[in-house]
Structures are given as structure tokens and as C-alpha cells.
Amino acid sequence: MKPLITLEHVTKVYPTGRGNVTAVNDVSLHIREGEIFGIIGYSGAGKSSLIRLLNGLEKPTSGQVLVAGKDIGKISGKELRQARQEIGMIFQHFNLLWSRTVRENIAFPLEIAGVPKKERLKRADELIQLVGLQGRENAYPSQLSGGQKQRVGIARALANNPKVLLCDEATSALDPQTTDSILELLVDINKRLGLTIVLITHEMHVIRKICDRVAVMENGKVVEEGEVLHVFQRPQQMITKRFVQQITEPEETKETIAHLLDQYPTGKVVQFAFAGSVTERPLIAELIRNFDVKINILQGKISQTHQGSYGVLFVHIDGSHEEVAKAIDYVRQQQVVVEVMTHESLIS
Amino acid sequence: MSHLFPNVQWETMWAATSETLYMTGVAVAVTFVLGLILGLLLFLTSKGNVWENKLANAVISAFVNIFRSIPFIILIILLIPFTKAIVGTILGANAALPALIIGAAPFYARMVEIALREIDKGVIEAAKAMGATTTTIIWKVLVPESLPALVSGITVTAIALVGYTAMAGVVGAGGLGNLAYLEGFQRNHNDVTLVATVLILVIVFIIQFIGDFVTSKIDKR
């Protein structure tokens, strides 16, 4: 599929009193039509600047930003304003106009686009249905909960039938339950309207739940990129591993494993990472049957991603050196990523 | 009535009251428009905004600060040649208007600027992301989102203007201040001063009441 959004060697430098700050450093990305693309990074990684380059709120210092065939970095004035009407955006703090009701907020982008009043109200009511805010049309933002405000934000962003929806930390100000309902709404919109969604977040949970592909940002660079399931199973960079651990390992896991390493001087503590259909195979039973090893299950967790399930299992394998090595080799052949835990690997 | 206030000529008193109301009303209306324009310019040319321009901002800011700092009674005197040139006289209610407006508009402009600064930057960013023009942002975001502060600001300014009209009255502009000074003070008719004072208080209270009422009606936060 041809990319809807293309970034080629994009760099964004902010001049400050004490020299230049490079927020985005030589980033190239290709985002396909209809996919949900996540960009994850800690604060200050440059993801806010990156998403603002996509609708021209920021201009690249060098490189090219193409969205739906338009060179966003180069165009300005009327052309840029028209291009922006095809790119919806939602925000962490919703950014609704408190002086307008729900319906008037949703109709605002239509006013900007010059849609006649009758049509505006009709379209606003359709969108209110779409995001499930029936009955709240005449409420003011101050009368809504955080989740409802974000629903207004989403409806407003969709008003002009955009090709792309940009989500700037859209769920970071919401509680976990509300976050899930907003994420479900985004997936629903993505499926129903075929809308391409680009989101930035610092929560791996968001990536796991809804993204097809993910890019990991650190210090202005994209350090890792790929299918979500693949990145979960085979994280390459230290930072990616840390993000994946947000999901797969509860806080106390490291301590537990360190304790087990001390407790079992023989044998090995290993981590199996599965993805897709392998998660459903009786792997442990096969190991016990085929090799002369004892297996003690320490901890396990299966998470659902947008593309399928992903599991992590910590086991202690005991037996002779050769048998343990053979057993681990066998597991490796089953498309399971194996990591032998040591005290060193826990430090990361 | 005539026993209590032997020196008060009610017809003159009403005429003075309506002069005060006229001066205040016209000055408030023009101050609102001018102050809004100046305040918007101050805000829009400041750092990080759409018309960011250090020089323009410095010039407008200096103009506002100078006219805000001159004591009003001195401003009236300084503006005598200017008033004469545009109104043709330095006596009467109309002659007070240039000084009233030039004294009050910069004061209000600062309040407008403060009100605009209070608007969440994210809301302006959201409007930009929707493809709004600067004109749309001004009229559909900046003004409505700061309206309660703009209204309470013009209320404070209107009350200050009532005080200014009284001062202007002393140098011949008419109105209750003029009456209190000429009839009350110079001819030693304290009852006239008292009645003029009470009427000014009533005007101030009414303005404050209207201002508070409107502010609470339009504030949906």
C-alpha cells in the first residue's frame, strides 16, 4: 500500500538563548493509508514536535513532510489552511472552546470551512451520534467529564471528513477505564471510516491496544520501528525493552527473578516471549516429555495487541547442562524468543 | 424636598446628570473599541503569537504606558490644543471626550491584553490546526473566550470614567462634577455637593451591577 504520510530526513531545530536544540533529528517515516501508527517516547523525545510537523503547526528546518500528496513543510497561507482541514487533531487537554456548547464546538471547524449553518448543525448531530454523546448537545465543556470532552474533541476533529487524525497524547489526562473507551472509539472510527491515525504517547498500553505499527523515539531520533507484535517480541533497543516491560512485567518481577537466581544456583531462569499462534501451544508439556529437565513456572502473562496475542513466561529449567541447552534450543526453533536471565540482564 | 436641599435646582441637577451619563456613555463606547484594538495588537504582536513583532509591540506598549501614566487632570490640560483642533472648543461635554478616551483607552488596552493572555494557548493551537485564519481566531476564539474578562474590565474602566468626568467638570466640561464644584463648592452650597455625590454613587452602583450581571451570564466555565 502506498504511504499516505511520508517524512524524509526531517530535522527540526529550535534556536534558544543557549544555542540550538534539535527536537527532531533526521527522521524518515512512511505511514500507510488506513493504519494506526503509534509514536512512543518519553517527554522531551521530540514526539510533540514531530506530530506538529504533520499539520504545519511546526515547519521543518530541513527535510520533507508529505501528507496526502501535499508538501506541508513548503505550503503556507490558504493552501496550508485547506490542507489542515483534511488533517484532524485531538489533544491531551482537549482544547475545547468553553464559551461554546458541545454542538457549537463540533460545528466550529465547519464554520471555518464555510459550510452553511443548516448543514453544519446536521453534520454536528451525526458526529454526536458517532461519538455517543446524544443528549449532551447543549452542554458546555465545563459540564462534561474528561472522557466526554475527548469525545467532543474527536467529533470536532472528524467534522471535515479528514484523511488523517493526529492524536497528541489524547488519553494521557484520562483514567485507565476512560482511556480504554476512547481507544475503542478510535479503533471503531479507524475501521468504519478507514481513517489513518497517527498518535503519540508515552504509554505502551496505548500502543499495545490499538496500533498496527510503532516507532520508538529517543533524543529526536526514531531508534526502532516496526509491526507492534514484532517489536513486542523482539525489542532491539534498551529504551524499547523498557517500554515493552511496562506491559509484560509487573513491578516486582525483577525482584522475584533476582531472588530466584540466588535460590536456584543450578539450572537456568529463562524468559520465553511468544507471539501469535505459538501462545496456544502446550510448549512446557513438550519440553518435559522430550527432555530430561524439570520445569518450574515462575510467572507468566498474555497480553492482547491489536494484531494478536503476545505472551511472556518466566520459567526455571533444571537438569544437566546439555539437556537444559537442548531444551532451550528446541524452544528457540519454535519461533519463541528466549532470553536467559542473569543478574546482569536484570539491571537494564 | 426644597426644605431639605434649599439650594438644589432639580432641573439643573438632572441636566448635569444627563451630561455625566452622556460623557460616560460615549467615552465607554469609544474606549471599548479603541482599547480592544490596542489590546489585541499588544497581544498579537507579543512573543509567540501570530503577528510577533518586537518593534511594533514596543511602540504600542510605550504609547499605552505613557498615556496611562499621565495624571488625568494634567492630561486634560496637555490635550487642550488637540481638543480645540478637533472639537472647536474646550468647554462643554463634547470637549471632555478626547481627554476621557485618551485617558481610558490605554488603561483598558492593558486589561484586554491580560484577558487575552489568560486564554489557553492550546485552544488557539486547535483553531490553527483546523485551518482557521487569523481573523477567525480573533473573532471566534480570542474575543468569545475572553469575553467575561473583557466585560468586567470595561466595567472597571467605566467606573473610572465616571470619576474622570467629574474631574473634567472642574475645568469646564459640565456634568455633576462641574455642578458640584461651581454651585456646591464655590458658592458654599453643601447640599448641592451632597446630592451630586449621591447621584454619582448611584451611577457607579448601577454600572457595577450591570457589569456583574452580564459577566455571570456569559461565563460558562
pLDDT single digits (tens) B154-199: 999 999 999 999 888 877 788 898 888 888 888 888 889 999 999 9
Q: Which residues 115-154 in chain B show a CB within 8 A of chain A?
A: 120, 122-123, 125-133, 136, 140-141, 144-145, 147
What is A3-246's CATH topology?
Rossmann fold (3.40.50)
Q: What is the mean pLDDT of chain B?
A: 92
Instruction: Please report residues of A whose CB lies closer than 8 A to that of B47.
Output: none
Q: Which of A172, A5, A197 is nearest to A89 (CA)?
A: A197
pLDDT classification of A347: cutoffs 50, 70, 90: low
| Nearest alpha carbon to residue B40 among B110, B98, B107, B102 | B110
| pLDDT band for position A164 (cuts 50, 70, 90) | very high
pLDDT value for A78: 93
Provide mean pLDDT across the span A197-216: 94
Instruction: Tell me whether residue B3 is in a domain.
Output: no
Provide the percentage of residues in chain B whose pLDDT is more than 70. 100
Mean local confidence (pLDDT), A111-140: 94
Smallest CA–CA distance from A160 into chain B, residue: B130
What is the CATH classification number for the domain harbouring B18? 1.10.3720.10
Using the Cβ of A57 and the Cβ atoms of chain B, whether some distance falls under 8 Å is answered with yes
Average pLDDT, rounded, for chain A: 90
For A151, the grid coordinates are 469525545
- Catalogue the E-assigned strands of A69-160: 70-71, 87-91
Work out the pLDDT band at A250, boundaries 50, 70, 90: low
B33 band by pLDDT with thresholds 50, 70 and 90: very high
Q: Is the pLDDT of residue A24 over 90?
A: yes
Average pLDDT over residues A189-215: 93
pLDDT of residue B161: 95
Interface test with A, best of B47, B118, B120, B130 (most A CBs within 10 A): B130
Q: What is the pLDDT of residue A251?
A: 63
Give B27 or B50, the one with higher predicted confidence. B27
The answer on pLDDT for A29 being more than 80 is: yes
Nearest CA in chain B to A93: B122
pLDDT of A84 reads 94
Q: What is the pLDDT of residues A275-327, one digit of tens each?
A: 877 767 788 888 889 888 888 888 888 888 877 788 888 888 888 888 888 88
Considering only CB atoms, which chain B residues are within 8 Å of A160? 130
Count of A-B CB contacts under 8 Å: 66
pLDDT of the residue at A279: 67
Q: Is residue B40 part of a domain?
A: yes
Rounded Cα distance between B107 and B193, Å, is 29
State whether A84 and B130 contact (CB < 8 Å): yes
* Residue A208 exposed, middle or buried by CB count within 10 Å (0-12, 13-18, 19+): buried
User: Chain A: nearest CA to B52, how far in angstroms?
Assistant: 15
Q: In the predicted model, what is the mean pLDDT of residues A318-340?
A: 87
Contacts of B214 in chain A (CB under 8 A): none
A138 touches chain B (CB under 8 A): no
- For residue A109, CA distances in Å to A89, A186, B51, B157 come to 11, 19, 22, 35
pLDDT of residue A346: 65
B86/A153 Cα distance (integer angstroms): 52
Confidence at residue A264, expressed as pLDDT on a 0 to 100 scale: 76
Identify the domain containing residue B38 by its residue range. 10-218
pLDDT score of A348 more than 60? no
Per-residue pLDDT band for A1 (boundaries 50, 70, 90) equals: low
**Cβ contacts of B132 on chain A, cutoff 8 Å:** 81, 112
Q: Of A261, A285, A249, whose CA–CA distance to A343 is shortest?
A: A261
In chain B, what residues touch A80 (CB-CB under 8 Å)? 131
Q: What is the ipTM of this complex?
A: 0.86
pLDDT of residue A300: 83
- Cβ atoms of A186 and A220 within 8 Å: the answer is no
Instruction: Please judge whether A142 and B125 are an interchain contact, meaning their C-beta atoms are less than 8 angstroms apart.
Output: no
Beta carbons of B129 and A111 less than 8 Å apart? no
B126 → closest Cβ in A91, A98, A111 = A91
The cell 538563548 sits on which residue? A17
**Residue A3: pLDDT over 90:** no
Looking at the partner chain, which of B129, B140, B221 has a beta carbon nearest the beta carbon of A142? B221
At residue A181, does pLDDT exceed 60?
yes
Q: Which residues of B touch A111 (CB under 8 A)?
A: 136, 140
* Domain spans, chain A: 3-246, 249-347
Q: In chain A, which residues have their Cβ closer than 8 Å to the Cβ of B147? A: 99
A249-347 — its CATH code? 3.30.70.260
- The answer to whether residue B2 is domain-embedded is no
* Cβ–Cβ under 8 Å, residues A159 and A83: no
C-alpha cell at B51: 503577528
A108 in B contact zone (CB under 8 Å): yes
- pLDDT at residue A256 is higher than 90: no
Nearest to B68 by CA among B204, B203, B60, B116: B60
Rg (chain A; Cα; Å): 24
pLDDT score at B194 = 92
Tens digit of each residue's pLDDT (9 = 90 or more) over A67-122: 998 999 999 899 999 999 999 999 999 999 999 999 999 999 999 999 999 999 99
What is the pLDDT at residue A227? 92
For residue A99, give how far its alpha carbon lies from the nearest alpha carbon of chain B (Å).
6
Sheet strands (E) in A17-57: 19-32, 36-40
**B162 lies in a domain?**
yes
Task: Give the Cα separation of A145 and A133 in Å (integer).
Answer: 12
In the predicted structure, residue A133 carries a pLDDT above the cut 60: yes
- Which B residues, 45 through 64, put their C-beta within 8 Å of a C-beta on chain A? none
Give the residue, A344 or A142, on which the prediction is more confident.
A142
Q: What is the 3-state secondary structure (H, E, C) of A54-87?
A: CCCCCCCCEEEEEECCEECCCCCHHHHHHHHCCE
Look at A157-171, A255-269, B16-30 and tell me which has the smallest mean pLDDT: A255-269
Q: Distance between CA A179 and CA A168 in Å, rounded?
A: 14
Residues of A in contact with B151 (CB under 8 A): none
For B2, the grid coordinates are 426644597
Domains in chain B, number: 1
